[in-house]
Structure 1
């Protein structure tokens, strides 16, 4: 069976949505190549070729009541709507193919570069054409965001519909559910990162990396001048990178105590 073109798929979807779950009578319209389809008080004209294509593909059938959409029509509409939604999302995201390693296996995934403010900030350039944010700073911010999310520190924004259980102890006597060691470790890492950046820098880093606020939003909420959040964030992320990857300490010089009459060998100079 020949696959319909995208334009034909849109026309088929229009026909199927017009029919819905009801049956529609059909008769010739003003021209031989057009068909008037009536469903209740509604009527619409479709091409005869489209009706034939829908019947050939098994999307509609004709019986004594008129045109009726088949069960395959619902599957066709779901796929068509999913394709349209994917196309709409592609207009508002910047996709990039990346390869991830998982237990020795390579996984090819599609990453939306516009998903988080950090991904967008990583593409900023200065006047010289070099990245405004050092790649090490971006990686430090992503590491902070991963620990923050894994630690469960993101506030819930949706209502909980879990049923209330009868016989619960009073709120003051409830036992807190134990946290796993990994979650506790992640919270310790977040606290250490906040302390390393300091109170002035940690706030903007948390707002953008963890709460995914934009630079303009941070400046408006904090009443900062324009473009100041970008400078503060770069300073915070570089401080965070030094916290995660501290510079190597210089090697200690060894000292040797010489005995009485010892003279160092200066060599020939």
Structure 2
């Protein structure tokens, strides 16, 4: 189904549930009330009338009983179109995310000529986990990530601040553990990029670093963060520590 133009959709929505638009001297149908204003050229209104979305004539128009269903189809069409142009993923908490909005998406994409991506999948996964953790911690954009490891917990008791709740407190404790486990520069860059969505050039400017250095520190930090969470480039099972029989004596073979 071809999707209608945005102006037509907005016009019909403005008329809902039963407002009437009148044609003015410029050939446009106009709805103007204390709370909303909508305009649409006569040619577009004629098209909507022919589709059964509007009732009308050369002087006025209003929505038909079919108008709500038409609007619903337009919304469905818009959602389907958007889904074709984004990569969605749901985490363990059923939070749906657009992977193309990830701050690591560009670095995780293969390079030109089929070259390997700058970041490996396990490093990207570590960064996305950290991103979710920062969201749960409810840390605002004003929080700096080159911080004293205990500060984020103390902040919840500052005067005038509401208690963030058990989930946020637990997330902040886990962020403190990460800040202590990683080297300071690595922790700062990883948290700035994945948590506060800062650009690498901004980080380099703030720290007075040479160009492209933040990119390298980010990869090192993500690799250490992945190790912190037990993620690796290859799946590894538990090392066996000898065979244990369920019976007092195992047969040498089964017939």
TM-score bracket relative to the smaller structure: 0.5 to 0.7
After superposition, residues 160-171 of structure 1 pair within 5 angstroms as: none
In the alignment, is the contact (CA less than 8 A) between 2:88 and 2:97 conserved in 1?
Answer: yes
TM-score normalised per structure 2? 0.58
CA distance in 1, matches of 2:6, 2:195: 44
Q: Against the structure 1 CA distance between its residues 37 and 218, is the aligned structure 2 distance closer, same or farther, given a 3 Å change threshold? A: same
Q: Against the structure 1 CA distance between its residues 23 and 194, is the aligned structure 2 distance closer, same or farther, given a 3 Å change threshold? A: same
After superposition, residues 187-206 of structure 1 pair within 5 angstroms as: 187-206=172-191
Q: Against the structure 1 CA distance between its residues 147 and 49, is the aligned structure 2 distance closer, same or farther, given a 3 Å change threshold? A: closer
Q: Against the structure 1 CA distance between its residues 114 and 220, is the aligned structure 2 distance closer, same or farther, given a 3 Å change threshold? A: farther
- Give the aligned partner of residue 127 of structure 2: 141
Count of residues in Structure 1 that have an aligned counterpart in Structure 2: 212
The answer for unaligned runs of 5 or more in structure 2 is: 31-38, 144-156, 242-255
- Give the aligned partner of residue 50 of structure 1: 47
In the alignment, is the contact (CA less than 8 A) between 1:124 and 1:131 conserved in 2?
Answer: yes
TM-score normalised per structure 1? 0.56
The answer for unaligned runs of 5 or more in structure 1 is: 27-35, 158-170, 253-269
1:243 to 219, 228, 232: 228
Determine if the alignment matches structure 1 residue 6 to structure 2 residue 2.
yes
The structure having more radius of gyration, on CA atoms, is: 1
CA distance in 1, matches of 2:231, 2:89: 29
The alignment yields a C-alpha RMSD, in angstroms, of 5.1
Q: Against the structure 1 CA distance between its residues 251 and 207, is the aligned structure 2 distance closer, same or farther, given a 3 Å change threshold? A: same
Q: Deviations over 1:137-176 (max 9, x none)?
A: 222222222222212223489xxxxxxxxxxxxx998796
Q: Against the structure 1 CA distance between its residues 138 and 69, is the aligned structure 2 distance closer, same or farther, given a 3 Å change threshold? A: same
